[in-house]
A and B are shown apart, each in its own frame.
Chain A
Amino acid sequence: MSSTVSAIQRSALGFVLVLVIFGTLPLVVSSYQMSIANEILIFALLAMSIDVLAGYAGRTSLGHGALFGISTYVVIYWTSVYGGSAWVGCLLGVVVATLVAAIFAAFAVRVSGVYFLLLTLALGMIVWGVCLRWTSITGGENGIRGVGRPDLIASPTAFYYATLAVVLLMTFLIWRFVRSPFGLTLRGIRDSESRMRSLGYGTSAHMFVAFTVTGFFAGVAGALYALFNNFVSPSTVQLSQSVEGLLMAIIGGIGTLFGSFIGAAAIIMLENFVSAYTARWQMVLGVMFIVTMIFAPQGILGTLRMLLIRKR
Chain B
Amino acid sequence: MDRRQFLKTTGLTVAASAAGTFAAPQILRAAEPIRIGLMAPLSGVVAAGGREIVEGFNMYWEERGKKAAGRAVEVIVEDDAGNPDTALQKARRLVEQAKVDFLFGNLLANTGLAVASYVKGNGVPYFIPVIAADDLTQRNRIKNVIRVAGYTASQMPRPLADWALKQGYKRIATISQDYTFGHEQCAGFAQVFTEGGGQIVAQLWNPLNTADFSPYIGQLGDLKIDAVFAMELGADASRFMKQYSDFGLKGRIPLLGAQNFTDQSVIRTLGEECDGIISSAHFAEGSDNPETQKFVKAYSAKYGKMPSLYGFSHYSGAMWVDQVIEQLKGDISNRDVFIDAVLKSQLTNSPLGRPVRFDDYGNPIYDVYIRKVVKNKDGKYWNVPIETYPAVSQFWTYKPEDYLKNPPFSRDNQGIKK
Contacts and interface: CB of A to CB of B under 8 A. Distances in A.
A31 B96 contact: yes
B109 A142 contact: yes
Contacts of B180: 135, 140-142
Contact of A146 (B42, B84, B117, B412): B117
Nearest to A148: B121
A4 B356 CA distance: 74
Interface stretch (A119-127, A229-237, A286-294): A229-237
B85 A279 contact: no
A35 interface: yes
Contacts of A39: 89
Given A135-B411, A235-B83, A279 B179 contact: no
A143 B114 contact: yes
A145 interface: yes
Contacts of B117: 145-146, 230-231
A187 B208 CA distance: 44
B410 interface: yes
A136 interface: yes
A248 to B, nearest CB: 15
A148 B92 CA distance: 15
B389 interface: no
A180 interface: no
Contact of B89 (A141, A145, A272): A272
Interface string A31-70: 1110100010000000000000000000000000000000
Interface string B69-91: 00000000011000111101100
Interface in B92-146: 92-93, 95-97, 109-110, 113-114, 116-118, 120-121, 133, 140
Interface residues of A, number: 27
B43 interface: yes
Interface of A is mostly: helix
A32 B97 contact: yes
Contacts of B88: 229, 231
Nearest to A135: B410
B110 A235 contact: yes
A30 B43 CA distance: 28
Nearest to A280: B43
Given A136-B410, A143-B84, A275-B79, A35 B96 contact: yes
A85 interface: no
Contacts of A276: 78, 93
Contacts of B93: 32, 272, 276
A145 B84 CA distance: 11
A35 to B, nearest CB: 6
A32 B84 contact: no
A229 B114 CA distance: 9
Contact of A279 (B42, B113, B118): B42
Given A148-B121, A233-B84, A275-B79, A30 B110 contact: no
Q: Which 4 residue pairs of A and B lie closest in terms of their CB atoms, listed nearest first?
A: A32-B96, A32-B97, A145-B117, A141-B179
Given A30-B96, A148-B121, A233-B114, 11 more contacts: A32-B96, A136-B410, A143-B84, A143-B113, A145-B116, A231-B113, A233-B85, A271-B89, A275-B78, A279-B42, A279-B43
